[in-house]
Amino acid sequence: MATKYIFVTGGVTSSLGKGIISASLAKLLQARGFSVTIQKFDPYINIDPGTLNPYEHGECFVTEDGAETDLDLGHYERFLNVPTSQANNVTTGRIYHHVITQEREGAYLGKTVQVVPHITDEIKRRMLLLGQTGEFDIVITEIGGCVGDIESLPFIEAVRQLRWELGVNETCVIHLTLVPYLKAAGELKTKPTQHSVRDLSEAGVQPDILVCRSEYHIPSDLRKKIALFCNVKQNSVIESIDAETIYDVPLLMRKEKLDERVISKLKLPHKADPNLDTWKEFLGKLKNPTSEVNIALVGKYVELPDAYKSIIESFVHAGSANECKVNIKWFQSENITDENVAGLLQDMDGVLVAPGFGERGFKGKIESIRFVRENKIPFMGICLGMQCAAVEFARNVLGLEGAASTEMDPETPHPVIDMMEDQKQITQMGGTMRLGAYTCELKKGTKAYSIYGKSKISERHRHRYEFNNKYLQAFEEAGMHATGINPDTGLVEIIELQNHPWFVAAQYHPELKSTVLNPHPLFVKFVKAAINHTKSK
């Protein structure tokens, strides 16, 4: 069977949930036995989101092969339980960079290089790349932004050309729109959807299926009206109502028969009905918890939860695995001081110090860690959180005055966290950190080993600074042990504190590998430790 292509576009407004709809459809098709992958095409000119402020774009998700990508790829992995790669996220910046590089090398033989055909040809080439590997029956391509935006026009044009080139049953366009409820009029309005479809049609692309986001159920007469004005069949007007959790969406889309409409449009063989038993079991545990914990998330981007999307979802997975409701309490690290830390954190069952870059909020993270270390509250540190744990220990236990990371204080007398030699020569910001999957060996008999249940693991990284091994002996003698080491470089990956119920910090990002079907063991055991803490109060 030749690979089939599904394109998901959005209109009316951003943040309607194209990523969740794409991931949910992929889950349903996967549950029917098809091999599916999803890719995201982003219309911004950054080469990748690695240099974007998390307040602008949420977190930056890192793949196994070290690509810094859009946070929607996190949803794809969490839903499908299949790793994504460099090829799954493409930006306008990357497309233009490639075409301009080709032009400088003389690849176009003196031709005038234009948006059509050169840019659109490169977009089409990348849209088809994953399908040409032979690994996938279906490739879902999510187009970022909104139809009608100047930025996304070349992508829509590429979709138009591909539909023409590939044939009528090889592609399917799903358009996600909004059907708002006007309180004053007391009714749902279809006009924004009509305008959005008209914009898409003007660009030469007629959608096959409309997914209509709404806060209320869309009655059949409104569906009929949308179908009539938008040139789609009535049973291809799909309602997407606000869900209690994003993990309900595959089941809601199944009820609306989205997968069946796609199968019919693409003339796919009818495989078995989707097997969603494990998914339903996960949701059952998630919605019927037997215990509850409060976990503090101490970070510097807490005003925008999307900046910590993968961490939040990892707690959802770990909560379900423990049949426990995890309440995340947000703490802006800039506001934490040695005077108020006890009042803020003493009632918490666990504290996670989040990753991040730069000096802002560093002191608050140090104070939080000192408090949980001294008061035996379960603690987990990720990336910068692990580095803060090392700095706090150096200052307050080893008595190394002025100990710091050279990221925060280049002149520190005790650089317990320092930059690797090969990073010191780097002048460019983008894509130059230690990125992607690296192996780590765990020492037997340690908490880290008992968490994972094996001695060799692989985890994803995104950082530039490392634990300085010159201080390792002093740390270990004082009770802070390096229990996970990278076998090739000797770099410290995990530190854990002896004589503490649960104090574990990792240099890597465990949240990037947690999925519905495989909750990350670090989060699962951290939530378990928090449950035990509630019982010991």
Structure tokens at 63: 């793949």
State how far the Cα of 268 lies from the Cα of 349, in Å rounded to an integer.
50
**Catalytic annotation on 118?**
no
State how far the Cα of 192 lies from the Cα of 174, in Å rounded to an integer.
16
Residues 6+ apart with CB under 8 A from 18: 8, 9, 10, 72, 142, 143, 144, 176
State how far the Cα of 322 lies from the Cα of 293, in Å rounded to an integer.
11
Characterize the bridge pairing of strands 503-506 and 492-497.
antiparallel
State how far the Cα of 260 lies from the Cα of 67, in Å rounded to an integer.
33
Residues 6+ apart with CB under 8 A from 274: 28, 31, 32, 254, 259
State how far the Cα of 386 lies from the Cα of 486, in Å rounded to an integer.
15
Give the active site residue among 496, 511, 520, 533.
Answer: 511
**Omega prior to 117 cis, within 30 of 0:** yes
Distance separating the N- and C-terminal Cα atoms of the chain: 60
Q: Known binding site for ATP: residues?
A: 15-20, 72, 243
Q: Known binding site for CTP: residues?
A: 14, 149-151, 189-194, 225
Q: Known binding site: residues?
A: 14-20, 55, 72, 142, 149-151, 189-194, 225, 243, 356, 384-387, 407, 464
**Catalytic annotation on 175?**
no
Give the active site residue among 118, 414, 463, 509.
Answer: 509
Q: Known binding site for UTP: residues?
A: 14, 189-194, 225
Q: Known binding site for L-glutamine: residues?
A: 55, 356, 384-387, 407, 464
Q: Known binding site for Mg(2+): residues?
A: 72, 142
Burial class (CB in 10 A: 0-12, 13-18, 19+), 104: exposed
**Catalytic annotation on 511?**
yes
Three-state secondary-structure class, residue 184: coil
Give the active site residue among 383, 459, 493, 533.
Answer: 383
Structure tokens at 343: 């009042």
Neighbours of 373 (CB within 10 A): 20
What residues are annotated to the active site?
383, 509, 511
